[in-house]
Amino acid sequence: MTGKKQKIVQAVVIALITIIAGTGLIVMSNANPMDAYTNFFRGIFGNLNGFCEVFVKATPLIFTGLGCAVAFRTGFFNIGAEGQFYMGALTSAMVALGLPGVPGILRIILALVIGFLAGGVWALIAAIFKAKFGISEIIVTIMLNYIAINLIGLAVRTFLMDPAGSVPQSAKIDESALLAQILPPTRLHVGFIIALVAAAGVWYLLEKTTLGYEIKVVGFNKRAAACNGISVMKNIVISAFLSGGLAGLAGVVEVLAIQKKLLEGISSNCGYTAVLIALMAGNHPVGVVVASIAMAAMQVGANTMQRQLGVPSAIVDILVGLVVLLILAKGLMSRKKVKKAA
Amino acid sequence: MAILEMKHISKAFSGVYANEDVDLSVEKGEIHALLGENGAGKTTLMNILFGIYTADTGEIYWKDKKVVFDSPREAINQGIGMVHQHFSLVQKMTVLENIILGLKQDGLFLSKMDARKSIVELAEKYGLRVRPDARIRDLSVGEQQRVEILKALYRNVDLLILDEPTGVLTPKETQDFFEVLRKLKKEGYAVIIITHRMSEIMAISDRVTILRDGKKVKELVTSETDPKELSMYMIGRELHGEFEIQEQSDTGVALELKNVNIMKGEKAILDNIHLTVNKGEILGIAGVDGNGQTELAEVIAGIRKSTSGEICFMNESIQKATVKQRFEKGISYISDDRHADGLVIDMTLKENMLLKDYDKEPFSKKGIFNKKPIEEQAKNAIEKFQIKTTGTTGMESVVKLLSGGNQQKIIIAREVTEEARLVIANQPTRGLDIGATEFVRQTLMDVRNSDRSVLLISADLEEILALSDRIAVMFGGKIVGVLNRSEANVQKIGLLMGGMTKEAM
Amino acid sequence: MLEQILTMGFFTAFFSAMVRMAVPLIYAGLGEMFAEKAGILNIGMEGVMLSGAFCSFAGAMFSGSLMIGLLCGILGGIAVGMIHAVLSIKLAQNQSVSGIAINMFVLGVTSFFSRILKEGKSYQQLTTFSTIKIPGLRSIPLIGDALFNQDIFTYFLYVLIIVMTVFYAKTAKGLAFQAVGEHPRAADAAGIPVHKYQYIAMLVNGILGGIGGAYLVLVQLGVFTENMISGRGYIALAAVILGRYTPVGTFGAALIFGGANALQIRLQAVGVPLPAQALAMLPYIITLIALLGSIGRSNEPESLSKPYIRGSR
C-alpha cells in the first residue's frame, strides 16, 4: 500500500470512529441522533447569531494555535499558551483601564502591542531556560501558566479590582477602548479580522522570509542548521517570543472584545486546546485557522445540542481528544496491515 | 578445543549482505582479533553472537552445543559478555550498582556487602582498579571501561567481546588494558577483540580472522604473520588510478593548520595536526573511520572548535570565523552524513539549495525572499548536475524522496560553486552508485584542475589513490604520514592506517 | 491581628489543613515520580486523577460502598495510564502531546458522564471515609492532629513513602527501574526488560494517580464536580521536580504546595486580607528557582520522555 493511500485510509478510519463515538455518546444521553445532528447544524447555520459565534469562539483559538505552531516549528514545545494568554489579558486590561485620558484607539493599539510583548516575554523566560540552561520548556511553561493564572487572581482582587463592586473582577472598560463589533447584534468583532491578519502574517513570515526559513531549518534538523551557520539558539528564542506574543494577543482580544473587563478563567483552557489544534493543523497557519473554526463550530453546535436536548457539550472535548489520540495511535493500524501483508 | 564455533553465518539488511557465509572459531585462553575495514561486517557478526541480531542462516556452537540467542540477556546467561564501543553504564549510579544491575538476587534486598567483596577480589585479580562507590559520571573513560569488563566478569562469562576497545584510551591506558587482557587469557578466558590497529593485533592477539565486504577472507596465526600480510588481506585488491593527473603549477598554499588540537577530557581527538593544502591540489586523507577525520573536516569548516592551534586560509587566520564567514571566504564542506549535516531532508530541493545563501542577494533582500533567482538557481542546478527529481515536482521535490546520488548532487551543486576555493569532501561517494560516484570524482577533479583545492577524506583507498596529489594518513587523531602520489601504494597506506608508522617507511 | 495568627490553635489547624491539601498531591506525585524514574513523562496525570475521581464517585454511588468506589477509582486511573503507556511505549509517540490529549479527552468524558449521571437526580453527597485517631500520638502538640488524626489514606501514605524509599535505595528491582529511565540501552544489555518495566511503572502511575483523585471525592468532598482536579495533576509534576525525584522529597514538596494553599485558607479564616493568589503562586516560583539550582547536576532521569527502541542509538 502506498503512503498516500494509507494516509487516506487512516483518515477515513479516524473519522468513522469519531462519528460512531459521537453518535454513541448522543444515544447514551438519551437523545435521538438525528435530532441531535439536526440541532447541531442548526446551531451553527440556523441563524446569524450562531454562525457568527463560531468565529467569535475561533478567534482566541486561532491566536493561540498560531502561537503553538510557530513554536513547534523550531521544536520548542510551548505548552504555555495558557499563561501567555493571561499575561496578554492582564496587561491589556491595565492599559485600557489605567490610561483613562488617552484616546480609545490609542489604548487599543497600545494594549495590542503591550499584550503581545507580555505574552512574548512570558514565553521568552522558558526559552531562555531551555537555550541557556538546557531545562525542558514543558515543565517551565506549565509553571509559568500557574504563575500567570495567580497573577490574574491577584490583580482582580487588588489593584485592578472594580472599586464599585465586591466580585473579583476589574471595572468595565469604557466603550472607546473596546474592539468594535462588526455585525451587531452578533458578537463578531474586529479581533477575528486581526486573527486572520495574524495568520496571514505568520504564513508570510514562515514561507516568504529568511527568518521563517531559518525557523523551518532549525525545526527539521538542528544539526544541519548548525553545520550551515544558522543559529539554533537564536531561532528558538525568536520563535518562542513570537509564539508567546500571539498567545498574548488572544488574551488582549478576549478582554477588549468579549469580556470587556478582566476576570479569572477567561481562557477556558484554550491554551491547551491550541496545542492540539497546532498538532492537527500540521503547524501550518492555514491549517490552524481551519482547525480553529472547525473546533469552534463543534462547540457552538454542541452548545445548541445541550440546550435543546440535554446532550452535554463536553462531547466536543471528548471527540477532539479522541481524534488526537487516534492520530497518535494510527501506528497500531499500519502495523497490523504490515503484518497481514507479510 | 574451540569454545565457540560460528559456521556459515549470513545476515542481510534490506537485501544487502552484511555478513555472508562467515566462519569464526575461538578457543579457550585465546585472544582472537577480528580485523577488517569499515563495513566489513565485524560488528554485525558480533551483534549476531551477542543476540542483538539474529542470523538469516548459519549456526552457532557454544561449548559444543548449538545455540540461538534471542537477546543479550540470553547470551550473558550462557557466558558471553560484550563491551560495546559506546558504554552501557548508568551515569548517575555507582560502579557497584552498575555491576550488579539486573542480576537475580537472593531475597528482596540488595546484598551490596557480598557483591562488593567479590567485585574487589575480581578487580584485584585482574588489575582492574576501580572504586566501587564512585559514580560513573565522575570516572575517566579508562575507568569506565574497566567497570564494563568487571560487569561482564562478574556475570561469570567465559567469552568477552571487545568492540574497538582502545579507540577511547590514551596510550598509557592502552598498556594497562593489555595487561588486563593477558591476565584474563592466563585464567582461561576467551577474548574476541574487534580492531583495525595492526600494532595491537601484533601485540596482543593469538589468532586473527580477517573480514572483507562481509566475507571471511583469512584466518591467521599472529605469530606467523606480519602487518604487511594483514593489510594485504584486509584491503585485498590492487588499486590503480583512472584519472589523468595533469601537471600542476606551484601556486602556493591555500590552507594551513598549525598545531591544531581537540581534547576530549584527557584524550586528544585531534593530536597536534600540521597540514597544508596547496592551490590546485587534491590532498587525500586516508584512514579508518573514527580516527579524527571528521573532526578535522569540521574544525576547518568551523563547525567544531579546536582546543588549541591555528588555522590559516589564504594566509589569513580564520580561527575566529564562523561557519558562514568561512563559507563566504570560499571554504565549502561536503559532509559524510548528508542526512544529518548537509541536507534538511524534509524540505524541498529548492529550499536545500538555499541553505548557505538564503540571506544573500539576489535570493533575499532585507529578509524577504525573491522567488525568481531562487527558482533559477534550482533550475540551473537540476540541469547542470542532471539531478533526477521525483515525477513532475521538479525543484519542489522533497529531498528525502530522492536517491542518495541525487541528494549528494544537491549538496555538491550548493557547495562546489565558482566561489569555492577549498572543498572539504568527507566520504563524498559513500553509498552512491557507479554513475554518481564518477560524477562526484570528476567534479572534484575539475575543482583541482582550475587551481582550487580539495581536501578529500575517504576510507576508500581506491578513491584516495585515484584522485590525490598527496596523501595524508590519519590514525588515532594524528597525521601519521604524508606521501606523494608517486611514492604511495596500498601497502604503505594500509600499514599507516593500522598505525604501523615504522614498517611503512 | 498578629496575636490571632501566632496561636497554637492557628498552627494546629494550619498543619491539619496542609496535610489534607497535600495528600492527593503526594499520591499523584509519587505515581508521577515512579513513571518518570522509568523514563515516562505523564503530563496526563491531571487526566489520570480526574478519571480516578469520577470513577470512584460513580462506583461508590452505584454500589453504596466506599471501598468499591476506591477500587473503581484505581481502575479508572489505570485505564487512563494505560492509554498513555501504549502511546508512549509501544508506539513511541510524543509523550507531551499524548498527555495533553489525554487531559482534554478525560475532562470531556468525565464531564459528559457526570452530567448524565446526575440528570434528574437530586444532589448526591457520599458519606466520606472517616478519620481514625491514633491514640497517644495525636495528642502531640501542633502536629499531632495533622499527622495522626487523619483518614486511612494518609496513614497508608506513610507506609508507601517508606516502602518506596527502601525500594529505590535497597532493592535490585528499584535499581532496575531507575536504570530503565536513566539508560534504557544499558538496562536492556543488563537483561532488564525495558518496556515491561515501563508498563509496570505506568500501572503504578495509574494506581497512585487514581487514588489521588479518588481521595478528593471519597475523603474530602463526597461529590464529583466537573474539572474538580483543577490543575493538581500539573502541580504533581512540579512536586516531583521540586522533590528532586525522591519519595521523601516529593512528599516534602507536596507539603509545601499544600501548605501554601492551607495558609491562605487559614489566613482568610482569621480575616487577614492577603489574597490567596499571592501565596498560591509561590510554590511555582520556588520550583522554577529549584530548576535553575539543579543546572548541570539535575536529578532528572536522562532518558525521560525519550522512547526506547532496541537497536537504535
Q: Tell me which chains share at least 3 CB pairs under 8 Å with chain C.
A: A, B
Of B303, B351, B354, the CB nearest to A226: B303
Interface contact flag, A229 B322, Cβ < 8 Å: yes
Residue A140 sits at the chain C interface (C-beta within 8 Å): yes
What is the per-residue pLDDT for C128? 83
What is the per-residue pLDDT for B237? 62
Residue B301 sits at the chain A interface (C-beta within 8 Å): yes
Which residue type does C131 have?
A: T
Q: Say which range, A74-78, B315-319, C4-8, has the weakest mean pLDDT.
A: C4-8
Interface contact flag, B102 C187, Cβ < 8 Å: yes
Chain C CB contacts of A312 under 8 Å are 111-112, 115-116
In angstroms, what separates the C-alpha of B101 from chain C's closest C-alpha?
6
Of A210, A213, A229, the CB nearest to B323: A229
Write a three-state SS string for B153-222. Answer: HHCCCCEEEEECCCCCCCHHHHHHHHHHHHHHHHCCCEEEEEECCHHHHHHHCCEEEEEECCEEEEEEEH
Across B250-264, b (16+ Cβ under 10 Å) vs e yields: eeebbbbbeebbbee
Q: Cβ atoms within 10 A of the Cβ of C65, count?
A: 12
Q: Residues B281, B470: contact at Cβ < 8 Å?
A: yes
Of C176, C185, C302, the CB nearest to B88: C185
Average pLDDT over residues B184-194: 94
Beta-carbon pairs below 8 A across chains B and C:
70
What is the per-residue pLDDT for B425? 95
- Kindly report, residue by residue over A118-173, the tens digit of the pLDDT: 999 999 999 999 888 888 898 899 999 999 999 999 999 889 998 888 889 999 99
- Which domains can be identified in chain B, with CATH numbers? 2-235 (3.40.50.300), 253-504 (3.40.50.300)
Confidence of residue B273 (pLDDT cuts 50, 70, 90): very high
Interface contact flag, B344 A229, Cβ < 8 Å: no
Residue of B nearest to A207 (CA): B369
Q: Rounded to whole angstroms, how far apart are CA atoms C202 and B505?
A: 63
What is the per-residue pLDDT for A63? 98
Backbone φ and ψ of A112, nearest 5°: -65, -45
Q: Tell me which chains share at least 3 CB pairs under 8 Å with chain B.
A: A, C
- Kindly report, residue by residue over B27-38, the tens digit of the pLDDT: 999 999 999 877
Nearest Cα to Cα of residue A287 among A73, A18, A45: A73
The alpha carbon torsion through B220, B222, B227, B228 (nearest 10 deg) reads: -40
50-79 in B: which are within 8 Å (CB) of A?
A: none
What is the per-residue pLDDT for C296? 59
Peptide bond into A184 cis (omega under 30): no
Chain A CB contacts of B345 under 8 Å are 220-221
Interface contact flag, B90 C186, Cβ < 8 Å: yes
Confidence of residue A340 (pLDDT cuts 50, 70, 90): very low
Q: Say which range, A185-189, A248-252, B248-252, C39-43, has the weakest mean pLDDT.
A: B248-252
In angstroms, what separates the C-alpha of B429 from chain A's closest C-alpha?
19
What is the per-residue pLDDT for B80? 94
Of B72, B92, B103, the CB nearest to C189: B72
Chain B CB contacts of C244 under 8 Å are none
Of A29, A77, A315, the CB nearest to C108: A315
What is the per-residue pLDDT for A2? 55
Interface contact flag, C295 A146, Cβ < 8 Å: no
Chain B CB contacts of A284 under 8 Å are none
Interface contact flag, A224 B341, Cβ < 8 Å: yes
Interface contact flag, C91 A329, Cβ < 8 Å: yes
- Kindly report, residue by residue over C62-73, the tens digit of the pLDDT: 898 999 999 999
Q: Which residues pair with B426 in a beta bridge?
A: B457
Checking if the pLDDT of C251 tops 80, the result is: yes
Write the CA distances from A326 to A321, C1, C49, C101, C103, integer angstroms: 9, 57, 22, 10, 14
Interface contact flag, A213 B303, Cβ < 8 Å: no
Residue A77 sits at the chain C interface (C-beta within 8 Å): yes
Of B71, B76, B110, the CB nearest to C172: B110
Regarding predicted confidence, which is higher, A110 or C288? A110
What is the per-residue pLDDT for A126? 95
In angstroms, what separates the C-alpha of A207 from chain B's closest C-alpha?
9
Of B84, B102, B108, the CB nearest to C190: B102
Interface contact flag, B346 A223, Cβ < 8 Å: no
- Which domains can be identified in chain C, with CATH numbers? 7-118+149-293 (1.10.3470)
Average pLDDT over residues A254-264: 94
What is the per-residue pLDDT for C284? 86
Beta-carbon pairs below 8 A across chains A and C:
147
In angstroms, what separates the C-alpha of C188 from chain B's closest C-alpha?
8
Of C192, C302, C313, the CB nearest to B91: C302
Q: Rounded to whole angstroms, how far apart are CA atoms A8 and A14?
A: 10
Regarding predicted confidence, which is higher, B240 or B367? B367
Chain A CB contacts of C226 under 8 Å are 314
Whole-number average pLDDT of chain A:
91
Q: What percentage of chain B has pLDDT greater than the value 90?
A: 55
Interface contact flag, C111 A147, Cβ < 8 Å: no
Interface contact flag, B324 A229, Cβ < 8 Å: yes
Confidence of residue B224 (pLDDT cuts 50, 70, 90): very high
Regarding predicted confidence, which is higher, B8 or A6? B8
319-348 in B: which are within 8 Å (CB) of A?
A: 322-324, 327, 333, 335, 340-347
In angstroms, what separates the C-alpha of C304 from chain B's closest C-alpha?
14
Q: Say which range, A154-158, B49-53, C284-288, has the weakest mean pLDDT.
A: C284-288
What is the per-residue pLDDT for C274? 73
Write a three-state SS string for B236-254. Answer: CCCCCCCCCCCCCCCCCEE
Separate counts of helices (H) and strands (E) for chain B: 17, 21
What is the per-residue pLDDT for A337? 40
What is the per-residue pLDDT for C312? 52
Interface test with B, best of C37, C173, C175 (most B CBs within 10 A): C175
Of A208, A216, A223, the CB nearest to B347: A216
- From edge to edge, which strands make up the β-sheet containing B422-426? B331-334, B422-426, B453-457, B282-286, B470-475, B478-484
Chain C CB contacts of A279 under 8 Å are 97
Q: Say which range, A129-133, B45-49, B273-277, C172-176, has the weakest mean pLDDT.
A: A129-133
Interface contact flag, A208 B333, Cβ < 8 Å: no
- Kindly report, residue by residue over A177-192, the tens digit of the pLDDT: 899 888 888 899 999 9
Residue A134 sits at the chain B interface (C-beta within 8 Å): no
Residue A47 sits at the chain B interface (C-beta within 8 Å): no
- Kindly report, residue by residue over B85-136, the tens digit of the pLDDT: 888 899 999 999 999 998 877 677 777 788 889 899 999 999 888 899 999 9
Chain C CB contacts of A153 under 8 Å are 275-277, 280
- Kindly report, residue by residue over B127-152, the tens digit of the pLDDT: 888 899 999 988 888 899 999 999 99
DSSP for chain C, please give it: -HHHHSSHHHHHHHHHHHHHHHHHHHHHHHHHHHHHHTT---TTHHHHHHHHHHHHHHHHHHH--HHHHHHHHHHHHHHHHHHHHIIIIIS---HHHHHHHHHHHHHHHHHHHHHHHHTTS----PPPPPPEE-TTGGGSTTTHHHHHEE-HHHHHHHHHHHHHHHHHHHBHHHHHHHHHHH-HHHHHHTT--HHHHHHHHHHHHHHHHHHHHHHIIIIIISS--TTTTTTHHHHHHHHHHHTTT-HHHHHHHHHHHHHHHHHHHHHHHTT----HHHHHHHHHHHHHHHHHHTSSS--S-TTTT----TT--
Interface test with A, best of C97, C110, C113, C298 (most A CBs within 10 A): C97
Which residue type does B447 have?
A: V
Checking if the pLDDT of C272 tops 80, the result is: no
Q: Which residues are within 8 A (CB) of B41 and not within 5 positions of it... i.e. 6 or more apart?
A: B18, B19, B20, B22, B211, B213, B214, B215
Write the CA distances from B227 to A68, B201, B232, integer angstroms: 60, 9, 8
Interface test with B, best of A73, A217, A228, A235 (most B CBs within 10 A): A228
What is the per-residue pLDDT for C225? 92
Residue of C nearest to B52 (CA): C311
Q: Rounded to whole angstroms, how far apart are CA atoms B159 and B176?
A: 20
Q: Judging by DSSP bridges, how do beta strands B308-313 and B282-286 pair with one another?
A: unpaired
Checking if the pLDDT of C5 tops 80, the result is: no
pTM of the prediction? 0.86
Q: Residues A209, A76: contact at Cβ < 8 Å?
A: no
Interface contact flag, C291 A140, Cβ < 8 Å: yes
Checking if the pLDDT of C137 tops 80, the result is: no
Checking if the pLDDT of A341 tops 50, the result is: no
Checking if the pLDDT of C32 tops 90, the result is: yes
Q: Rounded to whole angstroms, how far apart are CA atoms B419 and B438?
A: 23
What is the per-residue pLDDT for A342? 30
Q: Say which range, B1-5, B306-310, C212-216, has the weakest mean pLDDT.
A: B1-5
Per DSSP, A310 falls in state -
Q: Say which range, A141-145, B428-432, C190-194, has the weakest mean pLDDT.
A: B428-432
Q: Rounded to whole angstroms, how far apart are CA atoms C214 and C223?
A: 10
